[in-house]
A and B are shown apart, each in its own frame.
Chain A
Amino acid sequence: MGEPTEAIIRFEGVDKYFGNFQVLKKVSMQVALGERVVICGPSGSGKSTLIRCINGLEQHEGGTLSVEGVKLGEGRASLDRARSSVGMVFQQFNLFPHLTVIENLMLGPVRARKLPGEEARDLAQRYLARVRIPEQADKYPRQLSGGQQQRVAIARSLCMEPRIMLFDEPTSALDPEMINEVLDVMAELAESGMTMICVTHEMGFARRVADKMVFMDHGEIVEEADPETFFNTPKSQRCQDFLQKILQH
C-alpha cells in the first residue's frame, strides 16, 4: 500500500495561502492507485482546500503536487490533464438547474470528451442505472430529493470516466434519511476499485471502506493511519479529542 512507484497522487511539502493566512502547511501525502482515503478534521482545517488542489480548483503555492506523474502548476496542459482524470462531488451537489438529469450527465461527455450524442446518452443511462435512478433521466434536478440529486452528481462525474474521485462532504447537506443511499453508492464505487479521496465525518462509512485515514488540523496532516490503528489507538491528543467529539453523535 502506498509504495512510491504506484502513487497516483503525490503531495510533497505543499503550501497554500489565502492572503496572509496559511491554509496548507507543508502537506505531504501519497495516494496509491485504487486506494480509498478518508480525510477528516475540524472545520477550517484545510480539508476542502487540500482536495481542491488535486483538480486545480485551487492552486497550491509551495512544494510539488503531482497527479498521475504530471506536476500541477506548470501551465494549462498539466491542469487540463489532471482535471480530466479527476472527478469531484460537492457538498451542495452543484447540478446544472436548467438542464434535465440526462443533459447534466451528457454535457461533459459531449463537449469535453467529444463523444457522439447517442454514445453519450447510453453512457449516461448506464451510470444513472448504476446510481439506481434510471427512471429520473428526464426530470430537472429540483424535482429530485437531495439524496437523488447527489447521486446524479456522482453519475455526472463518473460519465467523464475519471481514474480518481474526490468527495467533499457529500452527505453534509442531506437529510439524515438520505445519507445512506449516497454512502451505499460510494461504497459500491470503492469496491469497483476506484481511487477515492473523501472528506467526510461519516465514520461508519470510513471504517467500512477506507484503506487510509487522514486527520487534518490547522492546515497540517496531524495523523495518517489505517482505520484500525486510527480509530483504536490515535496517537495525537488533537485527533483523540476530535474523534471523541464526533463519535458521540
Chain B
Amino acid sequence: MFRALPCLAILLLLSGCSDQWGWYVVDPTTKNGLVNLNFLLTGLYYTVLLSVTAISISVVVGLLVALPGLSSNRPMRVFSRTYVEIVRAVPILVLILWVYYGLPQLSGLTITVFWAGVIALALSDSAFEAEIFRAGIQSIAKGQYEAAHSISLSYSDTMRFVILPQAIRRILPALGNQLVYMLKMSSLVSVIGMQELTRKANELVVSEYRPLEIYTILVIEYLVLILIVSAGVRWLERRMNADERN
C-alpha cells in the first residue's frame, strides 16, 4: 500500500498548481466534472475485460504451443519454434489492424471490435506465454517424470498432476508480469474504436480540450490498476508458497 502514496503525492502536487491546470474538467464536486470523470472511469470495464479475456486465451494457446516444443518429435518442435518466432516478430498494433480490417475479408466473417482486440492481444501474447511455459516446464527435475512413469501415470496425467502444478508455481511471477503487460497493451486497441480507458480519454480530450488533465487522469488510472494487479499477484505467490511450506 506504500506504493499508493506517491500517487497521492502527485495528485496533491498537481492540484496545487491549479492556476495553469484546468482541473474543473474532472472536478467531482461539479456536475460536469462528475459526468466527465464517470465517462473516463467507464473505460475501465473494457480495459479489464479485454485484458483478462485475452490473457485467459493466450495462456491456453501458449501452453498448447509450448508442449509440442518440448516433445522429442522434431516436426512438433519445429511447429512450436516457428509459431513463436513469427508471432513475436509482428508488432501488436499491426496485428490489431490486421485482425480487425484484414481477417474479416480473408474469412468472410464480421468481427466486433472487442473480439478483434481479444484475438490480436491473445495471439501476440501467446508466443510469450509459450516461452514462459517452456522455461517453467524445463525447470522441473527429470526425476519427477521418472517417478510419474514408475507409478504408471499417462502423459496427460503426468502433466496435469505432477509437472504443471509445479511449473505454474514457478512461472506465476512471469504470468503476472504478462497480465500487467497486457493491461498496458490493451490501450492500443483504442485505435480501432474499443471503448476502453485510452479511447475514453481521447474522446473527452476532443470535446473538452484539456489534454493535460485528462491524460494525467489516464496515467493515474493505469497506475492504480497495475499496482493493484501487481499486489494481487504477489499475494497469490505468497499464498502458494505458504501452502507448500506451511
Listed in ascending order, the chain A residues whose CB lies under 8 Å from chain B are 55-57, 80, 83-84, 86-88, 90, 92, 94-98, 107-108, 111-113, 140, 142, 153, 156-157, 159-160
Contacts and interface: CB of A to CB of B under 8 A. Distances in A.
Interface of B: 141, 143-144, 146-147, 149-154, 157, 161-162, 165-166, 169, 244-246
B151 A94 contact: no
B144 A108 contact: no
Contacts of B246: 140
B244 A108 contact: no
Q: Which of B144, B147, B153, B244 has the most CB of A within 10 A?
A: B147
Nearest to B156: A111
B152 A84 contact: yes
A97 B244 CA distance: 8
A157 B149 CA distance: 11
Nearest to B168: A98
B165 A107 contact: no
B190 to A, nearest CB: 41
A90 B152 contact: no
B152 A94 contact: no
Sorted nearest first, the 8 A-B pairs with minimum C-beta distance are A108-B151, A94-B147, A112-B152, A94-B143, A88-B150, A111-B157, A84-B152, A98-B165
Main secondary structure of the interface of B (DSSP, over half): helix
Nearest to A89: B150
Most buried by A among B151, B165, B166, B169: B151
Contacts of A90: 143, 146-147
B117 to A, nearest CB: 36
17 contacts: A55-B149, A80-B152, A83-B149, A84-B152, A86-B150, A88-B146, A88-B150, A92-B143, A94-B144, A94-B147, A96-B166, A98-B165, A98-B169, A107-B151, A107-B161, A112-B151, A156-B151
B153 A57 contact: no
A96 to B, nearest CB: 6
A13 B5 CA distance: 75
Q: Which of A87, A95, A107 gathers the greatest number of chain B CB atoms within 10 Å? A: A107
A112 B151 CA distance: 8
A94 B157 contact: no
A79 to B, nearest CB: 10
B34 to A, nearest CB: 50
Contact of A142 (B144, B157, B245): B245
Given A96-B144, A142-B245, A112 B149 contact: no
A126 B144 CA distance: 24
B236 to A, nearest CB: 15
Contacts of A95: 147
Contacts of B166: 96-98
Given A94-B141, A96-B144, A107-B153, 16 more contacts: A55-B149, A55-B150, A83-B152, A92-B143, A94-B147, A95-B147, A98-B166, A98-B244, A107-B151, A108-B152, A112-B152, A140-B246, A142-B244, A153-B147, A156-B147, A159-B151
